[in-house]
Structure 1
């Protein structure tokens, strides 16, 4: 009798458990459907400029959301595909930072040594005090290679494309190769097959970039590559940027101690879109949110991009557009990006 009673209780327990887990699955499915619907609503909204680009979200290796909308070439009416390559703007900086840090791990570069070591012929005295760390954190004060520092070294943050051009030159000095050769080898080694230095040949594969004029016309952008490559002109795809995040945030590119250096809070910047944000080496985050949301926005004429990673759930959100609306109002230019980030961050909590 006791055996039958125990067996009966076991079956009741199993039955209740099945109902409980089934309800959990239904609730999770309803939540995910609602979540995806909210993202779709943002992308397809008719109250703002039409989204023209690619959105990809991957959580712990599983694709959660993918959307491709608009044209790769407006004149020829060629639709975008997930495989299209975009210029990724300042997302390039974290790539350059990793290449510098890999040489640091080898002992080829000292982060706190004056850059005179790498530029013995520079006439300005700042070469005897500015370090690689200053270049990585935008605190060096170099505005022109032939002029003194614009402010006392390390006294403030001033966003600098030139600083990352100097980092590329340091890599060339150390490795005795061109930055194009260095980055090409780097991408091949880590398996990013669709990420590249924008050489003449590689530029043929990039989707066309467009800019909205003050009169509201959309024109082909001819000045996309005005930024230094190391600072803002690498090209990539959404899929490759997900791979990049997976490698970077899972210890495949840097040692743990070095990655902590990269994601350390060094400087605060008054950002035109996010307000007050913190800077590491090529990566940005809200104050003390390195473990919540970390990444970067990117802009190159005709291209608007975002690459953010949510470490707690191993989630990547990539947004790549090839049409820049509402310039110079970057808050409106990056409207889809900031709204999608809010949605993903608010719903992307650990289980």
Structure 2
């Protein structure tokens, strides 16, 4: 977009954010140079702490990209291949997973495995859906119990079906292959080389003062946080925290080959499937414009709503994030409408 168009976009998104009483941040930059960055609402309602453009927000499923990058780093090392059968690493664990499921099936949401947080099930964002006590879900191996016992739903490679459990399985595999804890692996292979100094997997029950509390409901007088709705510490399928500036660094680091060789990034960004319900395509760990150059991260969970889009040609990053379940979607819709033109 020409700079004048970006100014118009910023004005439109700012208007929608204010109309929606957004709790979050809207950020636009070109190759790291800020065009627009504005924070709205409160990071902590009870103590009236405002959000800032540097506030750390939950990412929900947007951090699946970190898992994909960590897995691809192990492919680069030769410790894994995209066609590695997951059974060769899981052994007797998770016996309901089909023997034909590969690393690429998990990355592309085509494994067909049963999902512990089934996106096709009828549940609301404020439901308590975890069957393992949330305080026990702090380390990767603890999730084995959560993802165990779910019957295979379709044959490997048969169809695209967004699958949270598949990314937990990827984290389990990454730990066992690398010998590092998943959070440590992501830190070493993704966050540090990307220069994301203020990103990581924070515990929901001990958030630092610069992190936004995730609120389940939009009403400004509701203090219901997401601490009982989500694992106490995020893992392979989501739950990292980041800032809008860190996300800009992330996109540019990927484009510049600072995290993985550009050929590996291109493989992650190569479209595999179209999801008509999302109006997007999917690669490996990343959403892609349905018809356009943009690479997209998206997350939706109790107390979290986020989309970050990067145009590799113009190196423009637009990030819209809220510390409420639904808060960002109106602004995201306004941005999608502007892109459609």
Residues 142 and 150, structure 1, Cα contact 8 Å, conserved in 2: yes
* Secondary structure, counterpart of 1:220 in structure 2: coil
* Secondary structure, counterpart of 2:237 in structure 1: helix
30 and 169 in structure 1: CA distance in 2 versus 1, 3 angstrom threshold: closer
Residues 232 and 300, structure 1, Cα contact 8 Å, conserved in 2: no
- Give the structure 2 partner of residue 268 of structure 1: 274
1:238 is the counterpart of 2:241: no
Decide which of 170, 184, 189 is 1:167's aligned counterpart. 170
- Give the structure 2 partner of residue 254 of structure 1: 260
1:26-45 mapped onto 2 (5 Å cutoff) = 33-45=7-19
Residues 57 and 66, structure 1, Cα contact 8 Å, conserved in 2: yes
190 and 89 in structure 1: CA distance in 2 versus 1, 3 angstrom threshold: same
- Give the structure 2 partner of residue 6 of structure 1: none
Decide which of 307, 324, 335 is 2:330's aligned counterpart. 335
- Give the structure 1 partner of residue 117 of structure 2: none
| Largest Rg, 1 or 2 | 1
1:256 CA displacement: 2.4
TM-score by length of 2: 0.81
Residues 183 and 197, structure 1, Cα contact 8 Å, conserved in 2: no
- Give the structure 2 partner of residue 154 of structure 1: 157
Distance 2:337 2:196 in 1: 28
- Give the structure 2 partner of residue 204 of structure 1: 208
Task: Show CA shifts across 1:172-218 (max 9, x none).
Answer: 011112212222333234321110122478733421111227x9963
* Secondary structure, counterpart of 2:90 in structure 1: coil
Greater RCO (Cα-Cα under 8 Å, separation 6 or more): 2
Q: Whose helix proportion is higher, 1 or 2?
A: 1
- Give the structure 1 partner of residue 141 of structure 2: none
- Give the structure 2 partner of residue 185 of structure 1: 188
30 and 333 in structure 1: CA distance in 2 versus 1, 3 angstrom threshold: closer
Distance 1:65 1:256 in 2: 29
1:42 CA displacement: 2.1
1:1-351 mapped onto 2 (5 Å cutoff) = 33-45=7-19, 49-122=20-93, 124=95, 126-143=97-114, 145-186=148-189, 187-199=191-203, 203-205=207-209, 206-212=211-217, 218-221=222-225, 222-223=227-228, 225-226=230-231, 229-271=235-277, 274=278, 276-289=279-292, 292-325=293-326, 334-343=329-338, 345=339
Which blocks of at least 5 consecutive residues in structure 2 are unaligned?
Answer: 115-146
1:104 CA displacement: 0.5
TM-score by length of 1: 0.79
Residues 198 and 243, structure 2, Cα contact 8 Å, conserved in 1: yes
1:287 CA displacement: 3.4
177 and 35 in structure 1: CA distance in 2 versus 1, 3 angstrom threshold: closer
* Secondary structure, counterpart of 1:190 in structure 2: coil
Which blocks of at least 5 consecutive residues in structure 1 are unaligned?
Answer: 1-27, 326-331
88 and 70 in structure 1: CA distance in 2 versus 1, 3 angstrom threshold: same
249 and 230 in structure 1: CA distance in 2 versus 1, 3 angstrom threshold: same
- Superposed CA RMSD in Å reads 2.5
* Secondary structure, counterpart of 1:320 in structure 2: strand
202 and 270 in structure 1: CA distance in 2 versus 1, 3 angstrom threshold: farther
35 and 178 in structure 1: CA distance in 2 versus 1, 3 angstrom threshold: closer
Residues 184 and 197, structure 1, Cα contact 8 Å, conserved in 2: no
Task: Show CA shifts across 1:280-331 (max 9, x none).
Answer: 0111123353xx2111211121111111101221100111111224xxxxxx
1:253 CA displacement: 1.6
Residues 32 and 248, structure 2, Cα contact 8 Å, conserved in 1: no
Distance 2:59 2:97 in 1: 31
Distance 1:159 1:190 in 2: 26
* Secondary structure, counterpart of 2:310 in structure 1: strand
Task: Show CA shifts across 1:76-95 (max 9, x none).
Answer: 11111122111101111111
